[in-house]
Structure 1
């Protein structure tokens, strides 16, 4: 097995109760930049576990999901598809993050996260069941203080 340290990034999913806003940009930009940084360093658990190149694994999954969604007869407009693992996309998340950072709007501080001690990963609230257990490993989730990126959205709005 690989001796590489495992890493997992999960951005929150948008809730369709309103329009997209700066909070979504904050979450997706930062998570995407972090995920790409770690992928470039070889951190991609599913692909590594299968002995595949992460890019190949991701592209296969994209194609498979598209086929499955089309097979369900869902009405997606694939002309508007974005692929976040392609440089044509993530160059913009990097661009916006750098701009926010240089403007003093992106900063790091420690904050509590939901920590899965078995998978050694951070979980979104939605991944913790009503008994306080991880949706994947079943471990009792712990609160752990970790350094994270934050965006001063109120300052940005001004």
Structure 2
């Protein structure tokens, strides 16, 4: 049942939440410029360097611990964030949905590829097995293409690096 933050016994540090995202079995929030996550963590999707279930919010560690986080987005098995206008993802990455140039799992945030690394990232969204972000006004996606979700006209395998939406992979 919905209630006030005090009724939910949320730590005092989470009383200034500016953004929240709920996934399949975990959630993340931005509080005072810090990313915190809680819930299921089998793929490292909480970003605290572990794979332990967390019943209360834990701070996302690694690169995000020293940056100002403005947005989080979570999916079933991975999470992404914008910190200091740059994109970061962590968790399950076997379909390339972390955007770091590899197909692997990460339990702490990793920067999304240099394809959008020098751009000002203003929006990010984590899908089931892909992710997308807006950098300098251009939409980019990476991860699974199975259902055409990258917007490049292909359903062939996956992309481990961000690609501009609307630019055909067929030339």
* TM-score bracket for the superposition, by shorter chain length: under 0.3
Comparing both structures, which one devotes a greater share of its residues to helix? 1
What is the TM-score of this pair, normalised by structure 2? 0.22
Structure number with greater CO (CA < 8 Å, separation at least 6) is: 1
> Higher strand share goes to which structure?
2
